[in-house]
Amino acid sequence: DQQVKQNSPSLSVQEGRISILNCDYTNSMFDYFLWYKKYPAEGPTFLISISSIKDKNEDGRFTVFLNKSAKHLSLHIVPSQPGDSAVYFCAASPNNAGNMLTFGGGTRLMVKP
């Protein structure tokens, strides 16, 4: 039973355009939602997060949107750059165990020059 799902295993975008990565979850106990980026042969790197009390959080080129009623979040990257090419993981944590992350399966983003 996958509690966090990323339905698109891969996404290809032209440099300068917007990248939109999507994530769905089922567990209503999740309190924090995060995005991690992973390059080959490296551990995941924290990118951006959002609390369940918010619906948007922005950090430079990265914006995360949360739709609690739909149990859906998305990561927008504008403008996309070739260095953004990586695997992006959506993750969620419950309100009483913040470091116990449940990860989605990941989306491989390829930004073409």
Partner 1 sequence: KAGVTQTPRYLIKTRGQQVTLSCSPISGHRSVSWYQQTPGQGLQFLFEYFSETQRNKGNFPGRFSGRQFSNSRSEMNVSTLELGDSALYLCASSFSGTGDTGELFFGEGSRLTVL
Question: Which residues would be at the binding site for partner 1 (CB under 8 A)?
Answer: 32, 34, 36, 41-46, 49, 51, 89, 91-93, 97-106
Cβ nearer to partner 1, comparing 75 with 80:
75
Cβ nearer to partner 1, comparing 80 with 86:
86
Name the minimum Å distance from CB 81 to partner 1.
Answer: 22
Cβ nearer to partner 1, comparing 32 with 65:
32
Q: Looking at this protein, which amino acid is placed at residue 29?
A: M
Name the minimum Å distance from CB 111 to partner 1.
Answer: 23
- Whether 90 contacts 48, CB under 8 Å: no
Q: How far is CA 91 from CA 13, 33, 98, 109, in A?
A: 23, 6, 11, 17
- Give the chain's end-to-end CA distance (angstroms, integer): 38
DSSP for 2-22, written as a single string: -SEE---SEEEEETTS-EEEE
Name the minimum Å distance from CB 17 to partner 1.
Answer: 28
Name the minimum Å distance from CB 83 to partner 1.
Answer: 19
